Amino acid sequence: LTWSWPTWSPDGEWVAGFAVESSDDRAGPVQVVAQRVDGAEEVLWFESTGSMPIYMQWHPDGSALAVLSQRGKELNLSVVSKARLGMARPVEAGVPLFFSWTPNGARLIVHASDGSGAQGRLVLRDPLGSAEDVVYELRPGSFCAPVFVGAEAIWCTPDDGGSLVYASNPEGTRGRPLVNRKGLLALAPAPKGGRLLAISNATRGEGSPYHGIDLVDLADGSLRSLTRMECLAFFWSPTGDWLLLAQVVSEENCLRWWKVPIDGSPPIDVGTFWPTRDVVFYLHFFDQYTTSHPLVSANGQHIVFAGYPA
């Protein structure tokens, strides 16, 4: 079996991933498999053919997995669960497609488009289909994955030629504006219990570097600049006292890790590396992956990634 995109369950007892059995002339169906970390149990949750696995995210209580896959040019989001092994319930389709579970796991907030270049949509959806959709009245702006900080949903809506970062209730009906930025925005909430939100914007849109990082205190709405460094991606440490930045080093054709403390201390050069293809993909869509596939170890002492020292 060839494994990809492993991710820890919320209780740390399981690791789920995609598995494919391949030979020299063919590849078998894609399996969604969960294994106990002690090796005592392995469960096949679902198996599909004709689609390419991209991403999965655990339900907050570990009872289900939201799975994103690609069939042809279309992205498909479905939910598989322990209670109904072998079954996948379709949730949404579109290009692009980003999502997040609500904190209680009752619904998914989905940011998707139909691939035609038309304005996308933000929908709060019950993956079991037992409750009606809540479609956000405000259109989504230029951003990727919606996130949650406590009970507040954080997303973006168009405003004055840019995008307004907005904090609202999960239904999007009551909220407050935070900050306006031009270009493509990325949102990264501090670890559980924190009230800080890291924000950056790529002024030239997708594929261009992000210009600096600002920290918004969601308790009082205050804003401060953390760094003006350009970066490809950024992540919180689990301890919440520093961020990890990935920066392109064009003259050496590689990437550099930077540790940036939030107390204003100087950034620390952690080292350069050549990433694998999967890591490049991860960094491109980091705002979706970072909450479920963290690169920094739980104690904040190590970075775990695939690549080669430069």
Residue 308 token pair:
């080669």
Residue 143 token pair:
């951003």
User: Residue 102 pLDDT more than 90?
Assistant: yes
CB atoms inside a 10 Å sphere around CB 142: 19
Express as a percent the part of the chain with pLDDT over 90.
79
User: Residue 174 pLDDT more than 70?
Assistant: yes
Give the pLDDT mean for 106-111: 96
The mean pLDDT value of the chain amounts to 92
220-261 pLDDT tens trace: 999 999 999 999 999 999 999 999 999 999 988 899 999 999
pTM: 0.91
Residue 70: which pLDDT band, with cuts at 50, 70 and 90?
very high
Which residue would you say has higher pLDDT here, 29 or 286? Answer: 286
User: Residue 119 pLDDT more than 80?
Assistant: no
The per-residue pLDDT for 161 is: 84
User: Residue 25 pLDDT more than 70?
Assistant: no
256-303 pLDDT tens trace: 999 999 999 999 999 999 999 999 999 999 999 998 999 999 889 999
**Contact call for residues 183 and 162 (beta carbons, < 8 A):** yes
94 dihedral zone (left: phi>0; alpha: psi -120 to 50; beta):
left
**Contact call for residues 263 and 241 (beta carbons, < 8 A):** yes
280 dihedral zone (left: phi>0; alpha: psi -120 to 50; beta):
alpha
The per-residue pLDDT for 105 is: 93
The per-residue pLDDT for 160 is: 84
127-145 pLDDT tens trace: 988 899 999 999 999 999 9
Residue 117: which pLDDT band, with cuts at 50, 70 and 90?
low
User: Residue 308 pLDDT more than 80?
Assistant: yes
- Among 86, 83, 28, residue whose Cα is nearest residue 61: 83
**Contact call for residues 124 and 132 (beta carbons, < 8 A):** no
User: Residue 45 pLDDT more than 80?
Assistant: yes
The per-residue pLDDT for 164 is: 94
